[in-house]
Structure 1
Amino acid sequence: MASTAYGDAASPDRVVPRGLRRQALYLLLGFSAGLPFYMFSTVLMLRLQAHEIGLVIIGFFAWVQLLPTFKVLWAPLVDRYQVPGFGRFWGKRRGWIMLAQLGIFSSMAAMAFVSPGDSLALVALFAVLLAFWTTTLEVAADAWRIELAPAQADQAPLAAANLWGYRTAMVAAGSGALLIADQPGWGWTGAYLAIAAAAFAPFPVLAAMRPDPEARGGRWGALTTGLAASVAILLAAMVVTGTVGWLLLGAAGGMGMNGQTNVTPYVLALCMVPFLLMAAALPKIRKLPPTAPARRSLAIGPYIEFFWRYGFMALALMAFVSIYRMGDVLALNLSKPMIRELGYSLSEIGRADSYVALIASIVGVALGGWMAARWRLTWALAAGALFAGLGNFGFVWLAHQPPQEATLYLATALDQFGNGMAGTIFVVYLSLLVDPRHPAAQYAFLSGFAFLLPRLLSGSGGSMVESFNAAGYNGFDLFFLLSGVASLAAILFLPLIGRARPRPRDDDEAAA
């Protein structure tokens, strides 16, 4: 995909120059996407625990993080359509990012004023909306990144800059929210409002940027139209999300599921469904000609194309990506409740999640970016999996130490270093699997599927810990040992997936 000094000539809204300014942009976009993440994951888990919500229900809330897995359902819309007003002046990608930032701000502000003790259902609704708009921002930003830098050497600096911003924001939100919540007079409401205000800060920066080369109309007119359209879209999203949630809760109740149900067997069975469906469909997909409606479809064409290119090797690729980040996803939701049970205060956890986590994460991201650019990718992936697994084992070690901030700092640093390294390498790897003709849809599919199995299991994490305890084991110890081993298991796939090569594009051959 040829690029001009301002990006790709085929997409006029890509107006970011090369070099440091492009990296600075992705530092900003990563920061914008990273701020909300802990607010519907780690921070939310601690807030639920503070309101004496049971561990099993806390585990169920981890399923809010499943939403990015299903971004394939709306990613093609991000590729195809513009946001009214915003897209006309700032271009397709920036238009979607601006809409998503408005959704992030409004959802987080709503969460600030809803207490889990008063209405757990409303907390769940706004947490899902926050996850939805955060994911939409990432879809648009990822598509733009892949279009700007399709080669491995170019991807690594952008991926590293994006993850620096993302992880810096996660640390700022996670530690900042806990430190604010622990202050008299602020509490959880003040914490969520403060992070919502910080998350909205990039919006005026984007609004002040120069217009798309093919912009129509003036800046203020586009801003007014875009804001009006955004209000309508945000309200529609809230109504749809509330309706779907009500139907799902009704269906779960009808099946007899409640806060005491051990859902782990159901989750494991559900995890097998995508692999069985893919295996059944592959023989037919491999025989589809380029003119087949399924390959040309806006809704499913980008996903069909991925399986057409990789054939049965796609099953191995999907299995690998579904377990590579297993360890850190499982640790994310239960590590903080475990640490809280060990006797650490919110302020102590917040300090550990501030400069300690930030420095460790930045070092891990930098080293991971360097390895992804310089090493053979399979070796870099192996190193990332190793350090991610060690981060989980660090929580087991922490549980058997006297409660001291120094030991908490060490365990936090090891976890964040491994996650930063593995995350950067993984982003580069997924980006190189993508067909540049379908960047938003295929990257959304791969990155979403990568977290399907981990997040499904994460939602049953509370049930797993309680089951281990009931069987006479230390539930948290066994949980973190198994999650660390799951990260290391990804290394076993590397000799196979290292040989994966896509088929030549038959439409190119026909044209030749």
Structure 2
Amino acid sequence: MASAPAPQKPKGWQLFKLALQTRKSATMLGFGFSSGLPFALLIGTLNAWLGEVKIDLATIGVLSWIGLTYSFKFLWSPLVDRLALPGLERLGRRKSWIALCQGVLVASFMGLAATDPTRSMGSFALFAFLGALASATQDVAIDAWRIDVADEQTSVELLTSIGQFSYRIASIVGGALALVMAGRMSWPLVYLLMAGLIALIIVVTLRAPDTPRVGQGALHAALSQPGELAPKARGLALLVVGVSWTWAIVTIVAFMVHMLRPLAPGAKHPSVAAFTRETGPWIVVATVAVPLLVSAVVNALKVRGRAVLVAPDDVHGPGRTALNHLYVALVSPLSELVGRLRWGVLVVIGMILTYPLCYNMWASFAFPFYLDFLHYSKDEVAFASKLFGIFMSMAGVGLGGFLFVRAGRMPTILLGVALPILGNFVYADLAEGGAMIDRVAHGVGLQALLGAFGFDDRMVRLLLTIGFENISTGIAGAAFVAYISTIVSRSYTAVQYALLSSLTFLIGSLGRGIAGEAFDLYGYATVFRYAAAAGGLAVVFVLLEWVRVSRLAAHHPPTPSSEEEGEVKR
């Protein structure tokens, strides 16, 4: 007897109707919006404002480093998980953090609205940083809430889909709508109105359900068993990793402050390119290489039975609880990954770091490029980038998921890393007038097709460029998310996924600083071509990973508890 076809997942307005049927799903609709709106306003739209008031691209590039808060959010996720907020805890375990972050977001948007970036860039950057920090922390709390409250009636899969749906709606509001509004009113008023939207979501937060705090017995039990690393050794490993991460964060923040503070007469800002070239590699060493090395040492000690517990450890207390949480957040996930992948972890981490090079580095400069360099209007950019572009991105994500299932994992990942390289050449052509884009558009009939809808040649160039970019990055993003999902262990699913996905922002975020200065010095077209060349490094790592998983599949049949579980299709 043939098996019944799998039920189709709800999409679009069908998903919206489902979201309103239960209190939890309706709340997730608000939480997804509250998560997506700050990201759109702080990482993308804010740069359109700065470009309009003639802030140089090097400064915009440095300010874009506020996006590193999303890369490092796993560092303080144990704090969000464990700490009861004085005075707010009565709201709920997760609601208290979400409401606090939303309050900070409202204040930061109001601060941005009250600050003139041409006169007080330091204060402006501080408000933007506080907003990004609150947004990243809110994401941690919302993700935890989504998992906590899920039940049979409102599954985590449904809540995730609802969150993604409302996140995309927020992207349109914080992108396209904000640009259209900015064409008709001042930027400060736009951000005040956006602060009002977040304030409305606070009402949803206060009425949301929540779950009680649970004991930490399982965490203590796992780390107190014989054979686990002794507390002093865990503390030393955590200290090394913590100092490395702290140094990297402090170094980046100190340079941002130096770059954004007012200059004395005749003084010059330090070179972003020099900082990235001289200090950037050490930041990568501190945030990636040192934790990997510590993880390898931890595994070696446990294998050899050195510095491990010989009897159950029954010591408890606030200090031990904090140590255990931080250790599980910062050391255990990488330790498990290194132990499972061994030397292959170098290829995996290299691929994760380089994969988004071609499409993650220049995102902060998109609006200055469209508005100030190419002189498109805000309405044109809003339509092309935030309406047409989002639909093309969704098409790319769907196509990426289809290819992942039908063509296999590694072919799709290779396509995902190759298409953005080509996309950079398309952008280079657009920067130089779009002659090649025009020839292709005329040759395949797209010029006539889009012209029938009233778009002139100039608008067609923008639509085709953004369409190609968003489809290619949609494929790349879908393939990459699926890839990371197959790499993580079931024992550390949430933490390893957060850690590995955070690494994807690291190189791109650091690179934005040097990209801004490079755009000023060499022009857009030249930098786009350099970015395409840098994407070749990602291709090399993808090919190495393809070889690794092919050999793994040939010599070791997949098992449910290991990485090979996801490597049958490759």
Cα deviation 1:291-341 (Å, max 9, x = unaligned)? 599997322333321222222333332222212222221120123222230
Residue 42 (structure 1) aligns with: 44
Deviation per residue, 1:415-474 (Å, 9 max, x gap): 2233334334434443454456656544432222221111101111122234545xxx94
In 1, Cα distance between equivalents of 2:161 and 2:544: 24
In the alignment, structure 1 segments of 5+ residues that lack a partner are 1-16, 216-240, 506-512
Question: What number of residue pairs does the alignment pair up?
Answer: 453
Q: Distance in 1 between matches of 2:149 and 2:190?
A: 36
* Cα deviation digits, residues 232-271 of structure 1 (max 9, x gap): xxxxxxxxx99x96796359999x9715553341254235
**What residue is the counterpart of 2:101 in the other structure?**
100
d(CA) in 1 for partners of 2:74 and 2:99? 20
Contact 1:59 1:460 in 2 (8 A): yes
Residue matched to 2:446: none
Please state if 1:450 is matched with 2:504: yes
**Letter paired with 2:98:** I
Deviations 1:91-121 (A, max 9, x none): x334322322222222112111111112000
Tell me if 1:326 matches 2:326. no
Tell me, what secondary structure is at the counterpart of 2:388?
A: helix
Task: Say which of 238, 258, 279 aligns to 2:269.
Answer: 258
User: What is residue 465 of structure 1 aligned with on the other side?
Assistant: 519
Q: Which aligned pairs between 1:404-483 and structure 2 lie closer than 5 A?
A: 404-434=458-488, 441-469=495-523, 474-482=525-533
Secondary structure at 1:209's aligned position in 2?
coil
2:300 to 276, 284, 287: 287
Counterpart amino acid of residue 278 in structure 2? Y
For residues 66-103 of structure 1, give each alpha carbon's deviation from its aligned partner in whole angstroms, at most 9, with x where no partner exists: 2222223211112223445655454x334322322222
Give matches, 1:78-89, under 5 Å. 78-84=80-86, 87-89=89-91
Q: Distance in 2 between matches of 1:304 and 1:294?
A: 15
Q: Does 1:249 align with 2:263?
A: no
- Counterparts of 1:99 and 1:146 in 2: how far apart (Å)? 20
- Offset at residue 478 of structure 1 (A): 2.3
The structural deviation recorded for 1:504 is: 7.3
- Cα 1:455–1:171 change in 2 (3 A) is same
Query: What TM-score, normalized by structure 1, do the two folds share?
Result: 0.75
Instruction: Please tell me whether the aligned partners of residues 323 and 453 of structure 1 are also in contact (alpha carbons under 8 angstroms).
Output: yes
For the residues of structure 1 that align with 2:494 and 2:482, how far apart are their CA atoms? 15
How far the C-alpha of 1:288 sits from its partner, in A, is 4.2
- Selected match of 2:348 from 317, 341, 363: 317
2:119 partner SS: coil
User: Alpha carbons of 1:503 and 1:284: their partners in 2 closer, same or farther (altered >3 Å)?
Assistant: farther
Identify which range, 156-165 or 133-142, moves more after superposition.
Answer: 156-165
Within the candidate set 285, 293, 305, 2:332 is matched to 305
Matched, 1:120 2:121: yes
Cα contact 1:356–1:413 (8 A) shared by 2: yes
| 1:191 corresponds to | 190
| Contact 1:360 1:416 survives alignment (8 Å) | yes
CA contact (8 A) 1:155 1:428 kept: no
Contact 1:388-1:419 within 8 A present in 2 as well? yes
Q: Distance in 2 between matches of 1:160 and 1:99?
A: 25
CA distance in 1, matches of 2:406, 2:128: 39
Are 1:69 and 1:451, in contact at CA under 8 Å, matched by a contact in 2? yes
Q: Of 71, 74, 86, which residue of structure 1 is paired with 2:76? A: 74
**Offset at residue 126 of structure 1 (A):** 0.7
Q: Structure 1 stretch 432-441 or stretch 361-370: which is displaced more?
A: 432-441
The residue matched to 1:53 in structure 2 has which SS?
Answer: coil
Change (3 A) 1:385 1:437: same
Do the aligned partners of residues 368 and 24 (structure 1) sit closer, same or farther apart at CA in structure 2, a change above 3 Å counting?
farther
Tell me the equivalent position of 2:394. 362
Deviations 1:125-151 (A, max 9, x none): 0111111011112222334556789xx
Candidates 531, 535, 543, aligned match of 1:492:
543
Change (3 A) 1:213 1:315: same
The residue aligned with 2:434 is: 401
Hey, what's the Cα distance between the residues in 2 that align with 1:502 and 1:278?
A: 27
2:361 aligned counterpart, secondary structure: helix
Greater shift, 378-387 or 346-355, is seen at 378-387
Local SS of the residue matching 1:287 = helix
| Aligned 8 A contact 1:262 1:463 in 2 | yes
Instruction: Kindly provide the amino acid, as one letter, of the partner of residue 74 in structure 1.
Output: W
Measure how far apart 1:207 and its partner are. 2.2
Residue 277 of structure 1: aligned partner: 290
Compared CA separation, residues 309 and 375, structure 1 to 2 (3 A): farther
In 2, are the aligned partners of 1:146 and 1:436 still within 8 Å (CA)?
no
Q: Alignment partner of 2:273: what SS? A: coil
Q: CA deviation at 1:169?
A: 1.9
Task: State the alpha-carbon separation in 2 of the partners of residues 75 and 249 from structure 1.
Answer: 25
Paired residue secondary structure (1:297): helix
Judge conservation of contact 1:393–1:484 (CA < 8 Å) in 2. Answer: no
TM-score of the superposition, structure 2-length normalised? 0.68
Q: State the secondary structure of the residue aligned to 1:31.
A: helix
Tell me, in whole angstroms, the C-alpha distance in 2 between the residues paired with 1:451 and 1:40: 15
1:49 and 1:433 map into 2 onto residues whose CA distance is 40
| Among 56, 59, 77, the residue aligned to 1:57 | 59
**Greater mean deviation of Cα atoms: 194-203 or 31-40:** 194-203
Distance 2:499 2:559 in 1: 17
